[in-house]
Amino acid sequence: MKKLFAEFFGTFWLVLGGCGTAVFAAPHVGFLGVALAFGLTVLTMAYAVGHISGGHFNPAVSLGLFAGGRFPAKDLIPYIIVQVLGAIAAAAVLYFALISSNKEIGGFAANGYAALSPDHYTLCSVFLVEFVLTAFFLIVIMGATDKFANGKFAGIAIGLALTLIHLISIPVSNTSVNPARSLSQAIFAGGDYLSQVWVFWLAPLLGGAAGGLIYKYLLQRENLDNE
């Protein structure tokens, strides 16, 4: 149960910090500020609760770690459920903070393609970018947490990787690489955002699995002398 609570609170913090910055502060901090906010949420929670649950905070990460042989199948569905619940709880806080002050919901930091993409990228472009970036996110995660890596700095590497991912793809899709984050915002944004959310489940999940498999079979060493 402690692992599940850690995943709940970690995902809650990710959505509250990242999407909260996008919803409340984007006009003041810009894309760079939003990207840093998402990276900082993962970095801070990686050190706060990563030792308890592994610090996934993302269904695509959990699936990717499972595909890479780092996560047991029995924990996969429970992790995804609590990640989604944590994300929705955080989105609810943001939503009620807005409506309590009679603020417009707008896009609510939701993800989208075509007319709902910040720079109107097509479905094909959005799917490709989300798939590739999630795959690389898993490669970074698995490499940074490898038994031969310096684990003390894993949280920094992972947090900076998520920052970089947002710098690349906020104009493309508003950046998902996290199905729980996408669903939580789409629920409250509604309309076409909700009808497009399938893309932000399918592309990150496939990308996460691909990244896990790539690291396991092409990059992972059994010992330091293994070339």
- pLDDT averaged over the chain? 95
Q: What is residue 223's predicted lDDT score, i.e. its pLDDT?
A: 74
Q: What is residue 150's predicted lDDT score, i.e. its pLDDT?
A: 83
Q: What is the count of structural domains for the chain?
A: 1
CATH no. for residue 156?
1.20.1080.10
Q: What is the DSSP string of 187-204?
A: HHH-HHHHHTTTHHHHHH
Q: What is residue 57's predicted lDDT score, i.e. its pLDDT?
A: 96
The domain of 56 spans 2-219
With b for 16 or more beta-carbon neighbours within 10 A and e for fewer, the 9-34 pattern comes to bbbbbbbbbbbbbbbeeeeeeeeeeb
Calculate mean pLDDT across residues 108-119. Answer: 97
92 pLDDT exceeds 80?
yes
Confirm whether 141 is domain-assigned. yes
Confirm whether 225 is domain-assigned. no
Confirm whether 59 is domain-assigned. yes
Phi, psi values for residue 109, rounded to 5°: 60, 25
- pLDDT-based confidence at 172, cuts 50/70/90? very high
Q: What is residue 88's predicted lDDT score, i.e. its pLDDT?
A: 98
Confirm whether 199 is domain-assigned. yes
- pLDDT-based confidence at 226, cuts 50/70/90? low
124, 190, 197, 199 from 194: Cα distances, Å: 18, 5, 5, 10
- pLDDT-based confidence at 222, cuts 50/70/90? confident
> How many Å apart are CA 181 and CA 25, to the nearest integer?
18
Confirm whether 224 is domain-assigned. no
Q: What is residue 227's predicted lDDT score, i.e. its pLDDT?
A: 52
Confirm whether 66 is domain-assigned. yes
- pLDDT-based confidence at 217, cuts 50/70/90? very high
Proportion of the chain above pLDDT 90, given as a percent? 92
Q: What is residue 221's predicted lDDT score, i.e. its pLDDT?
A: 84
178 pLDDT exceeds 80?
yes
Confirm whether 88 is domain-assigned. yes
- pLDDT-based confidence at 151, cuts 50/70/90? confident
> How many Å apart are CA 71 and CA 69, to the nearest integer?
6
User: What are 115-150's pLDDT values in tens digits?
Assistant: 999 999 999 999 999 999 999 999 999 999 998 888
> How many Å apart are CA 26 and CA 170, to the nearest integer?
12
Confirm whether 226 is domain-assigned. no
